[in-house]
Amino acid sequence: MKKYLEDLRQELMKRNMSSDEIDEIIKDHEEMIESALAKGIDEEDLKTQFGDPKKLADDLTGDADSEKTEKSEKTESKDYEVYKSFDPDSDSISVFVKLVSEDIAYRPSNNGKVNVLFKGVKDLKDYEVKYENNELIIEAPKQVGFFFMRTSQSDASLIVEVPKALDFIQLKHKSVSSDVLVLDVNVKSFELSSTSGDIEVKDAKLGLTKWNTVSGDIEVKNTSIDTLNSSQVSGDLALSKVQISGDIKLNTVSGDVEAEDTICETCDYSSVSGDLKGKEFYPKAVLLKSVSGDIKITNKEVTDIKVIKKSSVSGSISIKD
């Protein structure tokens, strides 16, 4: 049973399904297989009963893609208007976005085009939206001096869709009072600067990643990252099931950091009053610095976490595994 389920998992991963979807499918089939074995079906006959893992994955992802497309098209037609759609003129793309008060989501497109969708925006002509020289640029109403002209459209939101086949070289995002969702995209270089907005990253593959946030929370789930440099003033950072192949550098003033089921090479953490809580958090080495915040890493698996440096004025530091 274990081999069959592992083969099925591998086939599903090849088809770019999200971790949550795969876990749900594996759980359902594990229950069905256990029920079949309880009824006397031989383990060798599982393929006959449930189908070859490769064919089963094809059937499952076909249905999933169909449902996803149907749901996406329904959402677009019901809630969003396709403002502009571009035919890619290259196999690569860079995206540059500046917003004030508009929420935005970045996700794959289903039609092979670069799409920009709007909802709750009254004056589209005030926005700059253009795609040329392999670059998509979106900018809110023009700046006056050093400040953006704030819009009164607090319920305005955008969706940027980029084909999976494109080499997503860069995503550079800057916003004020905007929530950001990054869903199931692959980006080689991701730079984000946000004030008073929450950030959610899910089922993504990111390369060199740099975030700077003020008064906004960041939540990252089921995501792989090459290297991460994250700086927060007062917002919290939550990492769950995140694989960081390189180093992670975390700087926080008063925001807390939680890392669960997360791995990295070296974790360089510096805090004024924010806490670091690691649960199943496995860096190979750590540099820990805190003024008054507490640092606690608790793992079930026994590993040798190398402490390069640790210091605290009034906060506690604890590493247990």
Q: Dihedral sign, CA of 222, 223, 227, 230?
A: negative
Q: Give the domain ranges of the chain.
A: 2-78, 80-320
* Paired sense of beta strands 218-232 and 237-244, if any: parallel
pLDDT of res. 78: 58
As a whole number of angstroms, the distance between CA 131 and CA 193 comes to 22
Cα-based distances in Å from 138 to 60, 97, 144, 158: 36, 5, 17, 10
Q: What are the pLDDT tens digits along the chain (321 aa)?
A: 677 777 777 777 766 667 777 887 777 777 777 766 665 666 666 566 666 777 777 766 654 444 444 444 444 445 788 999 999 989 999 999 999 889 999 999 988 999 999 988 777 778 899 999 999 999 987 544 333 344 444 578 999 999 988 999 999 999 998 999 999 999 999 999 999 999 999 999 999 999 999 989 999 999 999 999 999 998 999 999 999 999 999 999 999 999 999 999 999 999 999 999 999 999 999 999 999 999 999 999 888 899 999 999 998 999 986
The pTM assigned to this predicted structure is: 0.73
CB-based contact 150:108 (threshold 8 Å): no
User: 80-320: what fold?
Assistant: Pectate Lyase C-like (2.160.20)
